[in-house]
């Protein structure tokens, strides 16, 4: 197994692990526990419009991560092209009509304030745009571009994983400054996206032994 493939599999396992950890916390949300970390201080507005964004968001979010993992798996796509199309449509609907709009709505009430909220709102708009462009290029059968946009969309969705890693690291390093949350809201998606673009333009960076003619497929695993 090449180093690149190994790293891809480790990243996939990390996404899976964080997704499970996120879902295990849902006992704080059903019913809402306003003493829990995330819901603390939100009681005054939770039962207005917030809950209508929050519950669809936390229901659809983990699904988009699992679907994303399956969709970017190269072997699955080649072996089960029909399932790829069905799952891809479900992913598109979930991202465009649930996760991105609910994230945008919740950004307005971001716990860390407006600067973090702006980071989340930009993330919501970027994710929706990537999904839309991914869909449009698939319909036009421009598959190399389709893979690229959908890769970006998945990286944007994985911001939720990176956000929790940053929070965990800040905890371990005992950094308790307000700027960390703002940094996390922006850095959790801009840094992975920058890395994605870097590895896309330098596909042989991690795999010097392989003449990677597949270029655009280099970030797919399986």
Chain residues in the site for ligand HEM (CB under 6 A) = 19, 22, 25, 38, 57-58, 61-62, 64-65, 99-100, 103, 106-107, 109-112, 120, 123-124, 127, 157, 160
Return the closest-CA partner of residue 216 out of 158, 150, 145: 145
CB of 119 to ligand HEM, least distance (A): 9
- Choice between 60 and 217, CB closer to ligand HEM: 60
Name the residue number minimizing CB distance to ligand HEM.
61
CB of 142 to ligand HEM, least distance (A): 24
* C-beta of residue 108 within 8 angstroms of C-beta of residue 117: yes
Tokens 């209508």 appear where? 52
- Choice between 19 and 218, CB closer to ligand HEM: 19
Return the number of other C-beta atoms located less than 10 Å from residue 166's C-beta. 20
- Choice between 34 and 80, CB closer to ligand HEM: 34
Tokens 């994605």 appear where? 196
Three-state secondary structure along 69-108?
HHHCEHHHHHHCHHHHHHHHHHHHHHHHHHHHHHHHHHHC
- Choice between 109 and 204, CB closer to ligand HEM: 109
- Choice between 100 and 138, CB closer to ligand HEM: 100
CA angle, corner 184, sides to 145 and 68, nearest 5? 35
- Choice between 23 and 202, CB closer to ligand HEM: 23
Would you mind telling me the total number of residues written for the chain in this entry? Answer: 222
CB of 24 to ligand HEM, least distance (A): 10
CB of 18 to ligand HEM, least distance (A): 8
Chain centroid to Cα 47, Å, comes to 26
Structure-block tokens of residue 30? 């059903």
CB of 106 to ligand HEM, least distance (A): 4
CB of 157 to ligand HEM, least distance (A): 4
């Amino acid at each position: 197994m090449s180093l690149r493939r190994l790293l891809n599999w480790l990243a996939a396992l990390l996404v899976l692990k964080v997704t499970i950890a996120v879902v295990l916390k849902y006992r704080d949300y059903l019913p809402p526990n306003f003493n829990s970390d995330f819901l603390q201080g939100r009681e005054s507005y939770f039962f207005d419009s917030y809950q209508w964004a929050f519950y669809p968001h936390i229901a659809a979010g983990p699904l988009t991560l699992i679907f994303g993992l399956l969709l970017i798996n190269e072997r699955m796509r080649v072996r089960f092209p029909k399932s790829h199309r069905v799952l891809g449509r479900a992913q598109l609907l979930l991202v465009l009509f649930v996760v991105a709009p609910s994230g945008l709505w919740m950004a307005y009430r971001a716990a860390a304030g407006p600067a973090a909220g702006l980071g989340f709102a930009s993330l919501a708009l970027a994710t929706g745009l990537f999904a839309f462009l991914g869909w449009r290029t698939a319909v036009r059968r421009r598959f190399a571009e389709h893979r690229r946009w959908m890769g970006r969309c998945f990286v944007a969705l994985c911001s939720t994983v990176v956000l929790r890693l940053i929070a965990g690291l800040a905890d371990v390093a005992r950094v308790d400054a307000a700027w960390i949350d703002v940094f996390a809201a922006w850095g959790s998606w801009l840094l992975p996206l920058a890395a994605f673009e870097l590895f896309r333009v330098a596909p042989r960076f991690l795999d010097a032994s392989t003449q990677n003619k597949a270029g655009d497929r280099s970030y797919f695993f399986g």
